[in-house]
Structure 1
């Protein structure tokens, strides 16, 4: 208990700090645009780190180090794919999406943007895209709640039921109170904490083992294949791991950060900051798992927990190598990763329910104050559903998370990407892309043809569908072309 007390104090101070940021953001939230997109006034630093933190969940500090610890450096292909995908998303989508959403009636959500961009009077794009967001993100939220509960359960010995509520309530509190600004500001703090933990921990592990050369010898002695980038992988497996990067083009919680930037002019610096942060974090996570192999090979008596569950490698190293107060700060990074992603997903779900259902179909003339409070209560509603789903951590619905990333990437990715670079895209093309992308992911997942990750065929077929269905039927109207050209001219006003 003596060791856990400093960690408990650290966690409490951290959570109180996050809620305090929520209260400050509350005072800056004057209308629904502020609650959902922070009034589109995020600077490059906050845009960059918020995009990164909202992307990297507990997987960054638990899943990735655990995979590398168990299987060696070959597990790092996914990190390479994610880095390439994130860069391309910043390069080709971020600035353009910021301009296009503003030109298209200041759209606050992706469904709102699709509806206006393609003049969809039937509103089928709004309904279908909002439903995709609600279904996949509610499941995502449940997985985040489970990850937070597992952290509190393993660190403080709480029962799962108690840990579930403790882990979720802090995130719900600042998201409910402060909306997008609270989420973005806390993301920035959380991203800083994550990079600090992922640089410091592998350095201390290497020192504890006796340096890089000693570590490499120990790792090779345990199993030479740990050093093989191609261990157990064929061409399709490598393509599948790299294919994770395609998911970035369609993740609503990341795209919302681009939409909230102060202007497209800040994107250039934001891209540099975000990519630097991401590369350091992913490299650090891989290094924790990789050099953790050497540490626990040299200290087999300490390896009981990691041999039982490889995903505990970061937690165990933090607790073994650092003073309990420092360990508390490092373990708060896991909580930061979980909370930053969960809060973004709660807010995207809330915005879909409020903007794309409540305002669009029930209360078209609702006041700004009414929409803000509806948005807050929608955060509560989604959170409660997520907690109920998470109450049984073995519930099969959580298995859907494994391809929710692919679902968003294939259903929204090609639609978002082509909508900002091709003026000839139409409503029918967008709808076909969404339907084909989502259907391909679901069907491919069931049959696992060729062992290929379902996002790759989903993305390819959706892209083909968009081109084919945009070329037949109604062509873009003069107003659609005019808005597209206005947005593109605005985007090109400052060359990157």
Structure 2
């Protein structure tokens, strides 16, 4: 019997569970609020693990370990920045955003929150934010599809395009069926599986190698184990700042922020905070360990296989008998879980922006819940198809695709989210300038060439930082130069700032 049959069995079991969850919630999803926000019923555990699983994606098990394998421990500062960003997001943003989305007309999506928060009757903020979501999430979803295709290609030897089709169809199926609750519950299971896999594999590999003393064999590149060196060269201040700047991205991630909006009460927010931060510290630390240990355990991976180091370690360790192969298959499902948990959330948020924010918000304001639900499912399929086309290049880098999308979201929405929650003087004109200024800065920085090179290439500075600063300054300055917000907006801000959850929840009930 082909050894791969046991891995196939593990994959079939795992995918069957995911699809079962989708079917379970298909009949329970009655309207657009349930499809996009689950009726604000998320518990602390589900909110925490679904948020972090959807956050990390295939980047956690492929992009980050691959970068460390290739360039050394100088890449760990990205993980440090992300851990800080996660903590800041849960401690300062989560509870306040949940309160404000309730006060702001029970907003179901981030664009709708912006519109209601600033009483934007013309819908400028909703339209602008929806367009940016479509642009950047197409790239982000493509990164997940690409990672899934690389997984199937490496394990089963399937041609890249066919592997891409398999991954896209499975992710699309349960997202299409069950909406937000299906996505959150599958992400909850996937978050547990990801953590299990990422902790077990480096520990087993290290034991097989004979302990920490063997890691010196990773030093085939100069200063590989020195976190102050990157690719054998002393890490620069620009590189260090760029890696820490990843933390800013959390403030503008729609698929993470929507989890905050969906938590059922503030007590669950506090519980989620502890769970999420603990999960992130453990998972990021283990991902870094995979890159380091993998370099010593499998020192001869080719240039195109570095992002597959975790997959290759599992295939090398768990072989020889059916039980080990089945365990290896389950651990490989952790990679698939990381990929799926992000792609499904991205599909759902993009669908909500098109159907809820653009169609109902602009084209047909009287659209029924039934028609919105039907349109949302159609849009989910369309978005998946476009992302599939972007991911067709078999040489797509998961790290590069995620990096570009992360910068785009962080710079476009991060400053607006931050100031909308903590600065009562901000107005809709300032928010619009902040959003457009941040998003366009990232696009110009990463894609427009000046003198034959982009600003990203010539400066080495991650586009998220200049984009975020431009968005922040634009929002602040334009707000001060234009009319002060109306009294009703300032009263809503005061209610949110008071932290009176009893009064705020009464607003939701009414």
**Counterpart for residue 237 of structure 2:** 235
TM-score w.r.t. the length of structure 2 is 0.91
Is the 8 Å Cα contact of residues 190 and 337 (structure 1) preserved in structure 2? yes
Q: How many residues align?
A: 486
- In structure 2, which of residues 311, 317, 327 is the aligned counterpart of residue 315 of structure 1? 311
Change (3 A) 1:427 1:230: same
In 2, distance between residues paired with 1:393 and 1:223?
27
In 2, distance between residues paired with 1:396 and 1:286?
18
- Relative to structure 2, which stretch is displaced further, 381-390 or 40-49? 381-390
**Counterpart for residue 383 of structure 1:** 384
Q: Report SS of the residue matched to 1:225.
A: coil
Alignment of 1:244-393 (within 5 A): 244-297=246-299, 303=300, 305=301, 309-322=305-318, 323-393=324-394
In 2, distance between residues paired with 1:486 and 1:340?
35
How far the C-alpha of 1:425 sits from its partner, in A, is 0.8
In 1, distance between residues paired with 2:123 and 2:364?
15
How far the C-alpha of 1:361 sits from its partner, in A, is 2.1
In 2, distance between residues paired with 1:371 and 1:467?
36
Is the 8 Å Cα contact of residues 62 and 398 (structure 2) preserved in structure 1? no
- Relative to structure 2, which stretch is displaced further, 151-160 or 253-262? 151-160
How far the C-alpha of 1:444 sits from its partner, in A, is 2.6
Q: Give unmatched runs, 5+ long, in structure 1.
A: 298-302
TM-score w.r.t. the length of structure 1 is 0.94
- Relative to structure 2, which stretch is displaced further, 340-349 or 64-73? 64-73
How far the C-alpha of 1:19 sits from its partner, in A, is 0.5
- Relative to structure 2, which stretch is displaced further, 362-371 or 433-442? 362-371
Q: Report SS of the residue matched to 1:317.
A: helix
Is the 8 Å Cα contact of residues 64 and 399 (structure 2) preserved in structure 1? no
Residue by residue, what CA displacement relative to the aligned partner does 1:287-342 show, whole Å, maximum 9, x if unpaired? 11111222235xxxxx4x45652112111111111211111011111111111110
Q: Give unmatched runs, 5+ long, in structure 2.
A: 319-323, 447-453, 504-510
Change (3 A) 1:399 1:238: closer
How far the C-alpha of 1:423 sits from its partner, in A, is 1.0
- In structure 1, which of residues 427, 447, 463 is the aligned counterpart of residue 455 of structure 2? 447
- Relative to structure 2, which stretch is displaced further, 447-456 or 255-264? 447-456
Is the 8 Å Cα contact of residues 35 and 373 (structure 2) preserved in structure 1? yes
Change (3 A) 1:351 1:289: same
Change (3 A) 1:319 1:24: same
How far the C-alpha of 1:395 sits from its partner, in A, is 7.7
**Counterpart for residue 51 of structure 2:** 51
Residue by residue, what CA displacement relative to the aligned partner does 1:200-242 show, whole Å, maximum 9, x if unpaired? 0011011011112x2234335x456122111131111101111
Change (3 A) 1:386 1:223: closer
**Counterpart for residue 96 of structure 1:** 96
Residue by residue, what CA displacement relative to the aligned partner does 1:347-393 show, whole Å, maximum 9, x if unpaired? 00100011111111233222222221211111111112222332344
In 1, distance between residues paired with 2:390 and 2:75?
30
How far the C-alpha of 1:399 sits from its partner, in A, is 6.2
Are residues 1:462 and 2:471 paired?
A: yes
Residue by residue, what CA displacement relative to the aligned partner does 1:392-427 show, whole Å, maximum 9, x if unpaired? 445899966532211110110010011011111100
**Counterpart for residue 69 of structure 2:** 69
